[in-house]
Structure 1
């Protein structure tokens, strides 16, 4: 649905808001980025590919807070 993906009529911060799902995720992982307009200062994109492994809320060191592995 466009409202879940912040697309179409919901493609801006005035119309796209966190869903119950993203709010629950944010509650469990407060430092996470949970929806498209969650934090405008920390957005990034991953060029190419679509085979990623993402680790949420790791217990390890700060360097492993976001671990993404791209298989070529």
Structure 2
């Protein structure tokens, strides 16, 4: 039987990428300065302040699929 399922996967951030975080305390425009599997460094384009956080950006997709999956 197919159900509506939401998929999350880490987004591969790369230096120079311009991103917009839609919700939460980090909401707004950011420039990716550095990123690896564990950490991401972002710069605010307005204040110029930089922050390094544990990686948190995920791409979300919603689609109909078999649930639970057979994987």
TM-score above 0.5, yes or no: no
Task: Determine which structure has greater relative contact order: mean sequence separation of CA pairs < 8 Å that are 6+ residues apart, divided by chain length.
Answer: 2
TM score, norm. by length of structure 1: 0.20
Which structure has the greater CA radius of gyration? 2
Question: TM-score, structure 2 length as denominator?
Answer: 0.20
